[in-house]
Amino acid sequence: MNTLQSIGYPIYFENTLSELVNFVQQGNYSRFFVLTDENTGKHCLPLLQQHIGKLDNFDIIEINAGEESKNIDFCVGVWKMLIDFSADRQSLLINLGGGVISDLGGFAASTYKRGIDFVHVPTTLLSQVDASVGGKTGIDLDNIKNIIGTFTQPKAVFIEHAFLKTLPARQILSGLAEMLKHGLIADAGYWNKLKYSDLDNPSAELVHHSVAIKNKVVIEDPHEKGIRKSLNFGHTIGHSIETYSLMNDDNPLTHGEAIAAGMICEAKLSAMKIGLSEDELSEITAIIMGLYPKYDIAESCYKTLYNIMLKDKKNQSGKINCSLLTKIGQCRIDNICTEEELYQSISYYAAL
């Protein structure tokens, strides 16, 4: 599997941890830091240390696992640790973890001393196929996801398939939603391939294929002025469901579970508004429902979901803007959706 070239940085898929050692040795860094959470500290750090253990002058910064850590308090914690360790501008931050670690670590690094270098070593399927590529960093504030952040590219990304071995099945499913999305928005052949693959354990080739799709889109449109918005398919309604679940459920939905529900709603919107065929809507619905548990959404919640959508970063002049499908493998951006249309699409999902 070939190394992909992104916006000024490589994405490695083979001999990744040896490549990381080479990268650190050649980088002339004064010292480096590994950011982990409690799970990646336990499951992933030992393998990383087998390689970087050869190097000296590194320290580990560990935070609590989960989205609850992706906020300014934990970011301040990381900044303070960097100060305590006397990190200078020649320091490197290695983000070893899922999307929470890459988003928070990327943000902390991009702002510390006006920016130090960072690399991602993504350890969840979701972060391998999505969060680690494209240069978005960020944190949540007051239950608004990713509302504070920067576009800052990592210096390299190292995608090591072995890390997925310890990932719980629910987290695999979470990342799978983004892979399905990649097929739906850009590559019908890939969608068909996914349909017939072992989706409990997506192969390294499938991961590579997904990253290649995402990478192509972000290279074309790094700052999300146009085509990159296609990656938001499923995310307008999906994010609102995710936020709602985070606020209300003891065991909240994962990002991918929420996006899976959002993709069904937005496929329905696609059929209502821009000509996705009923056959393809049924196919998308059946495949996703076959993989993900149904999330109950009562009619009394629709308004709350709508109010959350009104805060979406992608809105223009207060109007809700969705990326929708004209057919499987083809996405059209900038579709303004009315409150009524959004409710209709959520009822379609709720009635399944």
Check binding of 344 to ligand NAD (CB under 6 A): no
Number of neighbouring beta carbons within 10 Å of residue 244: 21
Q: Tell me if 17 contacts ligand NAD by CB under 6 A.
A: no
Total residues binding ligand NAD (CB under 6 A)? 31
- Shortest-Cβ-distance residue relative to ligand NAD: 99
Cα separation of 161 and 172, whole Å?
12
280 binds ligand NAD (CB under 6 A): no
214 binds ligand NAD (CB under 6 A): no
Q: Of these, 123, 215, 321, 345, which contacts ligand NAD (CB under 6 A)?
A: 123
Q: Both ends of the chain: CA-CA distance in Å?
A: 40
Sequential DSSP letters for 90-144: TEEEEEEESHHHHHHHHHHHHHGGG--EEEEEE-SHHIIIIITSS-EEEEEETTE
Nearer to ligand NAD, 68 or 339 (CB): 68
Across the beta sheet with 117-122, the strand order is 4-5, 10-12, 157-158, 117-122, 91-97, 31-37, 58-63
Round to whole Å and give the CA distance between 23 and 188.
36
Select from 100, 186, 263, 325 the one that contacts ligand NAD (CB under 6 A): 100
Residue 71 binding ligand NAD, by CB under 6 A: no
Measure the CA–CA gap between 3 and 171, rounded to whole angstroms: 25
Q: Which residue lies nearer to ligand NAD by CB, 145 or 209?
A: 145
- Short-list 207, 231, 281, CA closest to 4: 207
Stretch that binds ligand NAD, among 98-106, 111-119, 283-291, 343-351 (CB under 6 A): 98-106
Beta bridge partners of 325: 331
Q: Which is nearer to ligand NAD, 204 or 274 (CB)?
A: 204
Stretch in the footprint of ligand NAD (CB under 6 A) among 45-53, 96-104, 197-205, 298-306: 96-104
Q: Cα–Cα distance between 126 and 146 in angstroms, integer?
A: 16
Looking at residue 66, the DSSP 8-state letter turns out to be S
Contact region with ligand NAD (CB under 6 A), list: 15-23, 122-130, 195-203, 313-321? 122-130
Sequence-distant (6+) residues with CB within 8 A of 180 are 191, 194, 260, 263, 287, 288
- Is-contact 157 102, C-beta < 8 A? no
Whole-number minimum distance, CB 210 to ligand NAD, in Å?
12
Nearest distance in Å: CB 191, ligand NAD: 19
Q: Per CB under 6 A, which region of 47-55, 92-100, 185-193, 301-309 contacts ligand NAD?
A: 92-100
Q: CA–CA distance from 206 to each of 157, 201, 203 (Å)?
A: 17, 10, 5
Task: Considering the complex, state which of residue 137 and residue 321 has its C-beta at the smaller distance from ligand NAD.
Answer: 137
Cα 336 off chain centre by: 24
Question: Judged by CB under 6 A, does residue 146 bind ligand NAD?
Answer: yes
String marking each residue 19-48 x if it binds ligand NAD according to CB under 6 A: ------------------x-xx--xx----
User: Segment contacting ligand NAD (CB under 6 A): 124-132, 221-229, 285-293, 341-349?
Assistant: 124-132
Q: Which residues bind ligand NAD (CB under 6 A)?
A: 37, 39-40, 43-44, 65-67, 70, 97-101, 103, 123-124, 126-127, 130-131, 134, 136, 145-146, 163, 166-167, 171, 174, 255
